[in-house]
Every structure is written in C-alpha cells, then in structure tokens.
Amino acid sequence: MVLADWRRRIAELYAEVRRVSLTDPAAAHATWRTEREALYRGHPASPVPSAERDAFRALHWPYRDAWRHEAALEPSAVQPPDGPVDGSAIFIVPASTGGPPPLELAGSVSLDLSGGQVRLPVLRLLDYAGGIFLPFGDATNGDVTYAAGRYLLDTAKGADLGATADGRLVLDFNFAFQPSCAFDPRWACPLAPPESRLAIAIEAGERLR
C-alpha cells in the first residue's frame, strides 16, 4: 500500500502540473518542485535513503521558457542497437542493476535546442505498467546530474506533462528528473542508451548539486 500511495501522489501531482501549466508553466514548475521535495523527504516510499531524508533538499535550475517544447511523435529513423527481434523493434537499454527491461521503439521527437536540432527516441515499456518512456543524457551528467542520465517522461509512474490538442507531446526539460538509483543504488533503473545522449548541456530540471 505504501508504494501504491506513492504512485497515486505522483499521479495527482502531475495532474495538477498539467492543469496549471496550460496558463502558467513557471507556477506549475514551482508546485512540482515543492511537492516533490516534500514527498522525497517525508514519504516512506521515497527513493532517498531514510537516514538522509530529513536533510534532503531538492536542487533545480531556475525555470526557463526556452526549455519547454512541443513535438510530434514521428516514425523513428533511429534503429535499435541490435536490430529488430522477432519482427519487433525491441530497444535494449542499459540498467543500473539487473537485466534491462524490454522496451519497444515507439518513435522519436525532433527538438530545436540551443546546440541545434536533436532527435531523441521515445520508448514504450513492454512490461511493468507499460507507458511511454523518454530518458536522456547530456553534458551535465557526472558533474551536477546523475552520471547515467535523467528522465523527461515516464508515464508508467505518472510522470507525464500531457499533449497539445493536436497530439504533440509536451516536453519540458525544466521538469527533467533523476532516476531513483541516483539517490540509492538499491533501486533498479533503466538508463539512457547511447542514442539518447546529447552533446550539449541541458541546464534545466533537477540537479544533484
């Protein structure tokens, strides 16, 4: 029940974020920061080790509109590293521990960032709770963010900023967050594959220091 409550609280938080961000993304971001820190410090299912929760403080870059994008999910030119398996576009990603989860290549998104246009694969989880998953790596990894990358979308856990009326995904790097294994190695996390790693620094979202 503890984990179920955590999932429910995260889903409720993102529902509020989607509602507020329609008119005021910066205010939605402030709510997201405050509520996530409260959950990480006080919820029994927090990924932060219990001995460290009282002192935990969430760190983020200031909100910037330039990091908020809308993008159509397109058929992807990115191919799985090992090619299709049994006729399906199975995508193998590294994992922090244990075997990697089975993922399917759902498509890709093209984004105009400060360093030029980039394309990121969008993955679909084939087990667990299903859903869309978009991890990414960038030049901040191993310095002020987790070395193996961060997450932009993880709808299996309710981390979903929604879509526009015409179906484009809302991708706001100000809401990028660390995987649970960044706080405690006992958590098993899928990580950003090479195809999801950017050469530029995404100075937006959650940071570790």
Report whether 71 contacts 109 (CB < 8 A). Answer: yes
Whole-number pLDDT of residue 74: 92
With 0-12 / 13-18 / 19 or more C-beta atoms within 10 angstroms meaning exposed / middle / buried, residue 145 is: buried
Confidence tier at 171 by pLDDT (50, 70, 90): very high
| pLDDT tens by residue, 131-141 | 899 999 999 99
Whole-number pLDDT of residue 113: 92
Using DSSP bridges, classify how beta strands 206-207 and 68-71 pair: parallel, antiparallel or unpaired: unpaired
Cα radius of gyration rounded to whole Å, the chain: 16
Whole-number pLDDT of residue 101: 72
Looking at the chain, the number of H-run helices and the number of E-run strands are 2, 9
| pLDDT tens by residue, 19-30 | 999 999 999 999
Amino acid identity of residue 17, one-letter, is V
Torsion (CA) 180, 183, 189, 191 in degrees, nearest 10: 110
Amino acid identity of residue 31, one-letter, is T
Specify the pTM.
Answer: 0.90
Once rounded to an integer, what is the mean pLDDT over residues 61-85?
78
Whole-number pLDDT of residue 122: 94
